[in-house]
Amino acid sequence: MLDNQKQQNKNQIGCTLHQINDRSIDTGDIINIHKINSDPSLPFLHNVLRLYRSGANMIADYITNLEMKKKPTAKVQNKNDGQYFGYPDDMEVRKFLHNVSALF
């Protein structure tokens, strides 16, 4: 079961709405997270663009709550949970292009 869950998480992409507490990037308290399963049959850009609507909705909900004087709930980020990836090397690019139908 745990291996199945790890594989599903590996196939997910998401966006995070968080507070900006200082000059650092993406380190503020988390207000909301939305994840989707990526679809390898779709172009990469299509998968990423599927997140824009949910990201915009999270921002709109946050603004609505501020207008209604509702204090947002935010969770302190666990610095070990985030996943950032650097630039791919040649082998990673080849593997990606082999496994994906199109970039856009």
The structural domains of the chain, with segments of one domain joined by +, span 2-99
pLDDT in tens, 4-26: 444 556 788 888 998 888 888 78
40 neighbors 102 (Cβ within 8 angstroms): no
| Model-wide pTM > 0.85 | no
Q: Which CATH number fits domain 2-99: 3.40.50.300, 3.30.365.10, 2.60.120.1570, 3.40.50.170?
A: 3.40.50.170
Q: Residues 28-51: what's their mean pLDDT?
A: 88
Higher-confidence residue of 44 and 54: namely 54
Q: How many Cβ atoms are within 10 Å of 27's Cβ, its own excluded?
A: 14
Q: How many helices (H) and strands (E) does the chain have?
A: 3, 2
pLDDT at 6: 47
Closest to 16 in 3D by CA, of 95, 94, 74, 99: 74
pLDDT in tens, 56-80: 999 999 999 999 999 888 898 877 7
Question: Which run of H or E residues covers position 15?
Answer: strand 12-18
13 neighbors 46 (Cβ within 8 angstroms): no
Phi, psi torsion values for 45, nearest 5 degrees: -60, -40
